[in-house]
Amino acid sequence: MDDSWKPVRRLRRLRRNDAIREMAREVRLSQSQLIAPLFVKEGTGSPEPVGSMPGVHRLSIPELVQECLELHRLGIRGVALFPVTPPELKDPYGSEALNPDCLVLRAIRAVKSAVPGLVLFTDVALDPYTSHGHDGLLDSGGSDVENDTTVEVLCRQAVLQAGAGTDFVAPSDMMDGRVGAIRRALDEAGFAKIGILAYSAKFASAFYGPFREAVGSASAAGTRSLDKRGYQLDPANPSQAIEDALLDAAEGADALMVKPAGAYLDILARLRTQTRLPLAAYQVSGEYAQIHAAARAGWLDYRSVRNESLLAIRRAGADWILTYFAKEMAAELVG
């Protein structure tokens, strides 16, 4: 038989066994790249499970502190806090966001006191606090979110969070100009060291439903859909997403985020070529829930798909991954 067809290079040599595959691996996951999103509630009762997010709970502040201690022990370096505001404290103006003793500020102080080495990321937006569920203040007709008046409130919210001890404020509202305004407000208030992780490419996605259930927003799973397309990105517009992100960088953001992650890996990869800032990607609640649902139905292998999904986000260019798998992944990585 003529052997001329045989390949000169045999790439399978680098796939021959576990040891060689490990040595040749180009992209790796580590605990320090993972940020755990955590939901904090009022009171001191038991953890409340989020029905659409298996393994995820709403935690009281004492429970939150214990969870943060455990995450830090496992090598997780950052957590993102999301408050569950009681319905009676919500109003059309998101007034509770500016309460100097509101839930998230008390949570920041408690976690920082107990785990000072843990990096805290806190959400700057009004949707956890507004009765209508939008990320900002509505106009007089109630049909559109006012950009500039919303930004003024977001600046005050960011300064309060900085004063409580957060490390990064994370504006997720998608208002124009808010990163520059927040940077100026923080600097003028004496918080020049506080970072900004900007939700720069946040899409009007259908993958947010379970999160909205978790925080009890007006657009929770199973309720009337809340239309945020007037400020969140159109999923069909990749160039606009890159423009948004680069504007945030120019306004002083310290890190940029793409959200959701899995369905927008192309955006993440394109943005990676455009900036040297750290890039975060949020593997959102719907992505988490669908992996659990498929695994429970026996259609997919849970651990393999979970790991592959996170590796894909890293491969596309993310330095940090916000994921509800953070704790269990860290435990496995620690061994």
Q: In whole angstroms, how far apart are CA 229 and each of 130, 154, 235, 289?
A: 17, 20, 10, 23
Q: Rounded to a whole number, what is the distance in angstroms from the first to the last CA of the chain?
A: 50
Q: Which two tokens stand for residue 178?
A: 């808010």
User: Residue 57: pLDDT band by 50, 70, 90 thresholds?
Assistant: very high
pLDDT at 221: 40
Query: Residue 22 pLDDT more than 80?
Result: yes
pLDDT at 41: 97
The string of pLDDT tens digits covering residues 149-202 is: 999 999 999 999 999 999 999 999 999 999 999 999 999 999 999 999 999 999
Query: Residue 222 pLDDT more than 50?
Result: no
**Topology adopted by domain 28-334:** TIM Barrel (3.20.20)
Q: Using CA atoms, how far apart are residues 138 and 231, in angstroms rounded to an integer?
A: 12
Neighbouring residues of 47: CB distance < 8 A, sequence distance ≥ 6: 57, 58, 59, 60, 63
Residues annotated as catalytic are 202, 259
| Of residues 59, 124, 107, 160, the one with CA closest to residue 257 | 124
Only one residue has tokens 């985020």, namely 257
**Region label for 133, one of left (φ > 0), alpha (ψ between -120 and 50) or beta (otherwise):** left
Range from 36-40, 119-123, 132-136, 180-184 carrying the lowest mean pLDDT: 132-136
The string of pLDDT tens digits covering residues 291-333 is: 999 999 999 999 999 999 999 999 999 999 999 999 999 999 9
Domain range list for the chain: 28-334
